[in-house]
Structure 1
Amino acid sequence: MTERLATTYDDFGRRWAHGTSPLYENWATGIAGDPGILALLAALPPAMQQPNRIFAAARWAGSPLEPFPQWREWLEAHWEQVAEIAASRTTQTNEPARCATLLPQLARIPGPLALLEVGTAAGLCLLPDRYAYEYTAPGGIHRVGDAPVVMPCRVDDDEAVPQHVPEVVWRRGIDLSPIDPRDTAAVDWLATLIWPGPDHDGRVARLRAAAEIAAADPPDIVRGDLLETLPEVAASAPADATLVIFHSAVLLYLDQDGRRRFVELVERVRAARDGRMVWISNESSGTLPEVDARMPKGLDTDRRFVQSVDGVPVALAGQHGATYEVRPFF
């Protein structure tokens, strides 16, 4: 158990936090080599062992943002409090800037659109038509949309920049523990899940601004297991709209059988809608074998999602929406 946890934390630090959150990289790699903390983690249920959940729980409890040796002392002294917080809350990174990496594909789909997000948290990614976007491409800066909240994104090809914000006529989410964007404490927890570091400071402000937009007109979120509720929720989408099922960093929480069942459910929904449906997946490599099999050989995917459309990889999407790369797929 501790060996598996050491691998998980080392991977989180070196593969995901490296170059973007030095403090989290330091904490994660420190834990990976610390038998005492690994033993404490091993005593927790598997869902509570996730690095970001433990780190956010520690920060929620008031931990100092110090290097691992000092932070470790605090963590060990406050372990019961941290574990209690981790038991009562979940990892629900609701990053609205991910809409910047969804828009290039959404803008290509014949509208109007009906959006269905699984693992939606507070539904902030269900609102791509309520934000504006600033894409920095090789040919210059492109502004898309007209809204006070602007999502920045660096794109590696000007042709990938969307030309418009699509019309959305229906939106719904599915989540095991939906978050009400009008709940200030819940939004504070979402903000705590954002990693520390200069690369992430702007994310907190955008999260809170997006939550205010959602609070004014909250999207409908269905509480339930995506493997049980997807067909029923999808069936409620208007027939004259193109249904778009999408998710980001959700399927990694399912085992291989659960992922296979999800793909089967998506295809069942497609058949029920006579093919008028698009499936957009943002997941780390290794999550969907059928997508990995179609990836360019040797492509580095660290700190990025593999974005696929109907099972075909089309781009690398920054995990927090800051980058979008299509050139490896030409």
Structure 2
Amino acid sequence: MTTSEIYAEFAAREAAGVSPAYERLAAAVSRDRELLGLLGSLPEAKPQPNLLFGSVRLLGGPVEDPAAFHEYTVANWPLVEAEIRARVTQTNEAGRCAVLLPVLAALPQPLALLEVGASAGLCLYPDRYTYRYGDHVVGSGGPVLDCAAAGLTPPAGLPRVVWRAGLDLNPLDVTDSGDLGWLDALIWPEHEHRRTRLRAAAAIAAADPPLLVRGDLVDDLPALAAKAPPGATLVVFHSSVLYLLSPRRRAAFAETVTGLPGHWVANEALGVLPYRVLPAPPEETRHNVLALDGTPLAWTRAHGQGIVWFS
């Protein structure tokens, strides 16, 4: 897929109906020869919309108007390029716990959670949030995570977590203003509810920090998994992470994680992991596939705002 096609698809399938600003911006970039030329000088996997838009937002540039965005980005390309090259998309959306919860709550308790691509580890606290699936509410503390659920009986209660750890090439610290600023810059412009949620989730993590380890999700996973306490069910999970890897490394990760005790929960975009049979997605917008131990269970929305369980 060309860079132009990546931005056109992002506009049509990810930002449409979710972020008017990013829908306009991505569509404009897909037709902008000058910006596409600059993006073409970047390493593979770097010219992605969220990374470009987040870097410009972090620098204080405009993202509401495509013409202003073009002018700013071209004029400040050395600064923008430096941010893109130095960073990766580490969107740490606590809302994704709403689509993970039905699986986590159904596993043998208590749980030892290990997230790969953990960013700042905000998804390691599924037991600290409150969930609202339509009229059904689960939990009573922390930020409220709303999720439209179809074909699913919401869990009766929260999981019991006795150990939480994260593995990331560049773990972020929510007590560091620069790291928190990058997490904020990755939130889409109109999503003030997600900014409020980020601050609330960051406060939870700051009060009870998880074990965050700098390392590779293939090479360093077994050693970290071995630290999980005995008597707890180990759950290795990830959400919107493996698309950053080459197909070869994805296969190596799958082989590694399936060789560990416990369970593997994946929440990745369609095509990132090989599933033989999937039902048709519910609509044209992009969905992730939620899977347990290699078996697909549901379609999910990128920020945890919806889940459609397979019948």
In the alignment, the residues of structure 2 paired with residue 33 and residue 114 of structure 1 have an alpha-carbon distance, to the nearest angstrom, of: 47
Please show how residues 73-92 of structure 1 align to structure 2 within 5 Å: 73-92=71-90
Please point out which of 167, 170, 191 is paired with 2:163: 170
Q: Does 1:156 align with 2:150?
A: yes
Please show how residues 168-317 of structure 1 align to structure 2 within 5 Å: 168-197=161-190, 200-269=191-260, 273=261, 277-289=262-274, 291=275, 293-297=276-280, 300=283, 302-317=285-300
Q: In 1, are the aligned partners of 2:7 and 2:30 still within 8 Å (CA)?
A: yes
Cα displacement (A) at 1:205: 0.5
In the alignment, the residues of structure 1 paired with residue 255 and residue 282 of structure 2 have an alpha-carbon distance, to the nearest angstrom, of: 27
Cα displacement (A) at 1:46: 2.3
TM-score for both structures, normalised by structure 2 = 0.96
Q: In 2, are the aligned partners of 1:294 and 1:312 still within 8 Å (CA)?
A: no
In the alignment, the residues of structure 2 paired with residue 298 and residue 322 of structure 1 have an alpha-carbon distance, to the nearest angstrom, of: 15
Unpaired runs of 5+ residues, structure 2, are none
TM-score for both structures, normalised by structure 1 = 0.90
Please point out which of 298, 305, 309 is paired with 1:322: 305
Of all paired residues, the percent bearing the same amino acid is 46
In the alignment, the residues of structure 2 paired with residue 302 and residue 236 of structure 1 have an alpha-carbon distance, to the nearest angstrom, of: 39
Q: In 1, are the aligned partners of 2:58 and 2:181 still within 8 Å (CA)?
A: no
Q: In 1, are the aligned partners of 2:174 and 2:180 still within 8 Å (CA)?
A: yes
Q: Secondary structure at the match of 2:92?
A: coil
In structure 2, give the amino acid aligned to 1:172.
A
Cα displacement (A) at 1:240: 1.0
In the alignment, the residues of structure 1 paired with residue 280 and residue 85 of structure 2 have an alpha-carbon distance, to the nearest angstrom, of: 40
Query: How many residues align structurally?
Result: 311
Q: In 1, are the aligned partners of 2:111 and 2:162 still within 8 Å (CA)?
A: yes
In the alignment, the residues of structure 2 paired with residue 160 and residue 186 of structure 1 have an alpha-carbon distance, to the nearest angstrom, of: 37
Q: Please say which of residues 146-155 and 118-127 is displaced more in the overlay.
A: 146-155
Cα displacement (A) at 1:33: 1.2
In the alignment, the residues of structure 2 paired with residue 323 and residue 166 of structure 1 have an alpha-carbon distance, to the nearest angstrom, of: 20
In the alignment, the residues of structure 1 paired with residue 268 and residue 35 of structure 2 have an alpha-carbon distance, to the nearest angstrom, of: 29
Q: Please say which of residues 96-105 and 27-36 is displaced more in the overlay.
A: 27-36
In the alignment, the residues of structure 2 paired with residue 297 and residue 40 of structure 1 have an alpha-carbon distance, to the nearest angstrom, of: 37
CA deviation profile, 1:112-143 (whole Å, cap 9, x unmatched): 1110100000000001111111111xxxx111
In the alignment, the residues of structure 2 paired with residue 237 and residue 246 of structure 1 have an alpha-carbon distance, to the nearest angstrom, of: 14
Q: Hey, what does 2:54 align to over in structure 1?
A: 56
In the alignment, the residues of structure 2 paired with residue 321 and residue 44 of structure 1 have an alpha-carbon distance, to the nearest angstrom, of: 30
Q: Please say which of residues 113-122 and 78-87 is displaced more in the overlay.
A: 78-87
In structure 2, give the amino acid aligned to 1:238.
P
Cα displacement (A) at 1:160: 2.5
Q: In 1, are the aligned partners of 2:114 and 2:237 still within 8 Å (CA)?
A: yes
Cα displacement (A) at 1:67: 2.4
Q: In 2, are the aligned partners of 1:117 and 1:247 still within 8 Å (CA)?
A: yes
Cα displacement (A) at 1:261: 0.7
In the alignment, the residues of structure 2 paired with residue 301 and residue 105 of structure 1 have an alpha-carbon distance, to the nearest angstrom, of: 25
In the alignment, the residues of structure 2 paired with residue 66 and residue 123 of structure 1 have an alpha-carbon distance, to the nearest angstrom, of: 29
RMSD: 1.5
Q: Hey, what does 1:114 align to over in structure 2?
A: 112
Please show how residues 65-144 of structure 1 align to structure 2 within 5 Å: 65-136=63-134, 141-144=135-138
In structure 1, give the amino acid aligned to 2:241.
V
CA deviation profile, 1:65-117 (whole Å, cap 9, x unmatched): 33212321222112122112222322100000111111111111111111010
The structure that is helix-richer by fraction is 1
Cα displacement (A) at 1:302: 3.0
Unpaired runs of 5+ residues, structure 1, are none
